Structure 1
Amino acid sequence: MTLQQEIVGNATQMAVVSLRPGQSVYGEAGTFLFKTPNVTVETRPAGPSGGGSGGQRSPGGGAGGLLRQAMGPSPQTGRRVPTGEPAAFQHFTAQDDEGTVGFTGVLPGELRALELDGTCAWFAGRSAFVAAESTVDLRIAVQGGRTGTKGDDGSVLGKLTGRGTAIIAGAGTFIDLDPADFGGRIDVATGCVVAFEESIRYEVRRVGGLNRPGLVNPVLGGEGLSLATLEGGGRVILQSLTLESLAGALRKARGGDDQGPAGGVFPTPTG
């Protein structure tokens, strides 16, 4: 049966999940809002492989063979977890009667429920995953990046497989695209990628850096951009706000940023 859930709110949405007796949903500790007293909490790996239900471990590959065997940080604890292994999450289970659990995203924005039918996996950004029912498996995956990357460039993702409902979050507003509508390829700032179907080929690269000696790259923005290339056909979900842009706006609002309108090349006049 499909997970009963309702997404409510406007600028900052939340998901209200109704659980049948014995039904479980798991999520990030930082996305949990509230629960009814008859819902128990237990920490264990994500999905059926960690739930003691006899589910099979999902294989680590996919997405056109772009996954790299590397180490990535767990989105739950920040500790490094081997690629293809499940991270630990809080599992919420209704006991004796129907229960309710509330979740939200880590930044103001939208939530969306993805319905997995077992035929197509989804990849989600590190901060996009909110919650999923126990029949959905979540594994740490490194895709389209350099072998051994720490994942700061957007290459560390979560791979969602199985059957059931998964809830994802995006900052600002969701933007739905299909690369096939743009000639088969789009380039996106890595911080804007929320989720995409496994039919999409995904690669991360740096572009536009300054190589001339003597230039102060951090001041001039000479480190370039980290871009995600998404190719093929399938659903892609982007977000209109990134953590970096929000942090920069908050710094300026607090008066802690002396950068001027030229992007930090010239200071803001004080007189």
Structure 2
Amino acid sequence: MQSKIEGTTLPVLSIRIDPGERLFAETGELSWKTPNVCLRTTTSGAGNSGFLGAISRALAGGGLFMTEFFAENGPGMVSFAAKIPGQIVEHTVDNSTSYMVHRHGYMASTDGVRLDLGFQRKLGAGIFGGDGFRLQRISGYGQFWTMLGGEIIPVDLGPGEQLDVHPGHVGMFEERVNFDITMLPGIRNKIFGGDGFFMARLTGPGRVWLQTLTMPNLAHALAPYMGVETATEAAEVSGVAGAASLIGRMFE
């Protein structure tokens, strides 16, 4: 199985599938494919089988169903386009380590890769971690691809080395990295600082992939424009409805 990542701000992942190979992705991720690539919707993809496995995957931010791709009568190609500005990265997992990925980070994987819910080891991280708490745990063996927002900043933490990060900017990290929540110091910082009350404290050893763009920040940046457009459309609809009502009363 060979992959190619094209594009910059909104990249596209294209994967060549040979006969006998299987690729799994979340439902609704397909952008285009060759005609000989077949699809099968299943609950047992990404290393999970049965109802409980699908529930675990859904709690991690995925779906109850997965799409399985396979090629017939020769090699085929399937492509997945990014849904937000960011970067697609290929990773290899080999049973020696596992990864924690934010709940919308998983994109696709080969057969042998397992995707399920990643539990936090400390209660504070679970209660106050926000989006950082609902993590997808990726293990097994094979290749998998992640989609992180904005630019990706990899950081290698040494043993005992720590980094405080806004939970939403934690895109992915090796499972051996300790993830905990720490409170910002000072009442003034908490109330007026605009950065929230809590930060994710990551403690090495291990690698962390930080993402510069988060979904809440993107939504916040677009909100003023969405609000104006929505209000305009509502006014137009209201005007049309009012005119129609007035005309209706004229002919009563």
Q: TM-score, normalised by structure 1?
A: 0.71
Q: Look up the match of 1:162.
A: 140
CA contact (8 A) 1:208 1:222 kept: no
Please state whether the residue corresponding to 1:47 is helix, strand or coil: coil
Instruction: Tell me how far 1:71 sits from its aligned partner.
Output: 10
Distance 2:128 2:39 in 1: 30
Q: Look up the match of 2:166.
A: 189
Give the counterpart letter for 1:25 in structure 2.
L
Instruction: Tell me how far 1:240 sits from its aligned partner.
Output: 0.8
Distance 1:88 1:151 in 2: 26
Q: Look up the match of 1:45.
A: 44
Q: Deviations over 1:185-230 (max 9, x none)?
A: 001111111111122111235546859xxxxx6xx57792442211
- Shift of the 150–92 alpha-carbon distance from structure 1 to 2, 3 Å rule, reads farther
Identity of aligned residues (%): 29
**Residue 242 of structure 1: which of 179, 197, 214 is its match?**
214
Instruction: Tell me how far 1:131 sits from its aligned partner.
Output: 0.5
CA contact (8 A) 2:61 2:135 kept: no
Q: Look up the match of 1:31.
A: 29
| Equivalent runs, 1:209-224 vs 2, <5 Å | 224=196
CA contact (8 A) 1:124 1:159 kept: yes
| Equivalent runs, 1:68-147 vs 2, <5 Å | 73-77=59-63, 88-144=65-121, 146=123
Q: Look up the match of 1:83.
A: none
Q: Look up the match of 1:266.
A: none
Q: Which moved more, 1:226-235 or 1:146-155?
A: 146-155
Distance 1:46 1:205 in 2: 36
The number of aligned residues is 221
Q: Which moved more, 1:99-108 or 1:240-249?
A: 99-108
CA contact (8 A) 1:26 1:90 kept: yes
CA contact (8 A) 2:16 2:75 kept: yes
Distance 2:213 2:33 in 1: 29
Highest CA radius of gyration, 1 or 2?
Answer: 2
Instruction: Tell me how far 1:48 sits from its aligned partner.
Output: 4.0
Please state whether the residue corresponding to 1:6 is helix, strand or coil: strand
Q: TM-score, normalised by structure 2?
A: 0.76
- Shift of the 132–209 alpha-carbon distance from structure 1 to 2, 3 Å rule, reads farther
Unaligned 5+ runs, structure 1? 52-57, 59-69, 78-86, 212-216, 257-271
Unaligned 5+ runs, structure 2? 229-252
CA contact (8 A) 2:47 2:115 kept: no
**Residue 229 of structure 1: which of 191, 201, 205 is its match?**
201
**Residue 17 of structure 1: which of 15, 20, 44 is its match?**
15
Q: Look up the match of 1:180.
A: 158
CA contact (8 A) 1:209 1:224 kept: no
Structure richer in helix, relative to its length: 2
Q: Which moved more, 1:121-130 or 1:95-104?
A: 95-104
CA contact (8 A) 1:209 1:222 kept: no
